Structure 1
Amino acid sequence: MRVVVADDSVLLREGLVRLLEEAGCSVVAAVGDADAFLEATATHRPDVAVVDVRMPPGMTDDGLRAAVRARAAQPGLAVLMLSAYIELSYADVLLSDGRGRVGYLLKDRVTSLDALVEALRTLTAGGTVLDPEVVAQLLVGRRTDPLDALTPRERDVLGLMAEGRSNAAIAERLVVGQGAVEKHISNIFAKIGLPDAGGDNRRVLAVLAWLQAR
């Protein structure tokens, strides 16, 4: 897995590089600002980028905006936004292109290297990984809720899907069998209008339909 790391904190950036390389990843570039990130992704064409939301030059949402531009230039690029903050201004744009391979995790909620590497693997495989708090913030103020037709348990399952959990992990978390999880997921797809089209990743589309409801 070829990775670009972008974070303006030297200590965090170098720490991520060391940890990821110890986990078997190949860090092809580590940069500290949004412009350098865009240059690194264009030059190295990585599999995945780990990007801080707030970076120079503006120290607002420069990293997030740069990630949107990088994905436009390299549609297959997986992006993990790893931040101390929830910045919503461009999050919808990043999450709503329908291609998956997008994650948004809060730094203080990533408790182990294994969890970080597993998130990167999920993204490069085409999945989506979202911190529950990010999901909650994205849903604030939505005028309509596509989950109205879902049961409380189906909502729980969809929330865990948004975190990137497998069926087995969902079953373990909810203390139910995998067959029950599969049935809940099938019901979710049906209720929010996602028939099996043969090629689309319906897990990703289900999460995006949830986040995009207005």
Structure 2
Amino acid sequence: MIDRRLRVVLAEDSVVLRDGMVELLEVRGCEVVATAGTADGLLAAVAEHRPDVAVVDIRMPPTHTDEGIRAAVEIRGRMPEVGILVFSQHVETVWASRLLAGGASGVGYLLKERVARTSEFVDALHRVADGGTALDPEVVDRLMRGGRRSRVEALTPREREVLELMAQGHSNRSIAGLLVVSERAVEKHVAAVFTKFDLRATDADNRRVKAVLAYLADEG
């Protein structure tokens, strides 16, 4: 059961949507310490309050293109301890790759129209605040299609399914349930992914995160 009160900064340029989200989050036990309608306002609010997680829309004033996710990348660089949950109608693969370039720990990217229940959104917030990952399957698919394909193409269809579910934050047990296979079978698929991506075990590294990031394109 989730009982920790999260401190959240919410960036959304639509006043109606922003106010509605504040009410929903507070009912669910979160503390919205600040809201922002612009990227500059978001940066200032995060610097002042140092929240557990910042919820960020991609398109914000003045141009309504990519100001929000640019700010998210800046926050990631300046204050990596702050979780980032991008919540948008759009998939920006270039900026999403940059957001994930330093590691997927503490990063989420959900599409507004695909979140069916408030509880799902709040669960994702907690996961990101705790250093986990919450990526919508459509975001994962777009990143995979836009990224380095050589490693991904070496995977079997089942290994790719397992990798996509890993990227969404699922444990081996959860993946086993979703794919209706044994947990041991999932472990073998995960090990195969690590091998094909040349990811060796170390005490410090999170190979699950590295496996998700290994094929994302953001070198240019």
Please give the range of the TM-score, normalised by the shorter of the 2 chains: over 0.9
Question: What SS is found at the alignment partner of 1:160?
Answer: helix
CA-CA distance at 1:143 after TM superposition? 5.6
Give distance in 2, aligned partners of 1:41 and 1:213. 26
Count of matched residue pairs: 214
Aligned partner of 2:107 in structure 1 is 102
TM-score (norm 1): 0.93
CA contact 2:148–2:216 (8 Å) conserved in 1: no
Aligned partner of 1:129 in structure 2 is 134
TM-score (norm 2): 0.91
Once the two structures are overlaid, the 10-residue window that deviates more, 177-186 or 155-164, is: 177-186
Give distance in 1, aligned partners of 2:137 and 2:150. 17
CA contact 1:147–1:155 (8 Å) conserved in 2: yes
Aligned partner of 2:80 in structure 1 is 75
Aligned partner of 1:210 in structure 2 is 215
Give the 5 Å matches for 1:36-185: 36-98=41-103, 100-142=105-147, 144-185=149-190
Give distance in 2, aligned partners of 1:111 and 1:145. 34
CA contact 1:119–1:164 (8 Å) conserved in 2: no
Give distance in 2, aligned partners of 1:99 and 1:172. 24
Give distance in 2, aligned partners of 1:131 and 1:39. 28
Question: What SS is found at the alignment partner of 2:200?
Answer: coil
CA contact 1:103–1:128 (8 Å) conserved in 2: yes
CA-CA distance at 1:133 after TM superposition? 1.5
Aligned partner of 1:19 in structure 2 is 24
Give distance in 2, aligned partners of 1:141 and 1:202. 21
Gaps of 5+ in 2: 1-5
CA RMSD of aligned residues (A): 1.7
Percent identity for Structure 1 against Structure 2: 54
Question: What SS is found at the alignment partner of 2:76?
Answer: helix
Give distance in 1, aligned partners of 2:119 and 2:195. 34
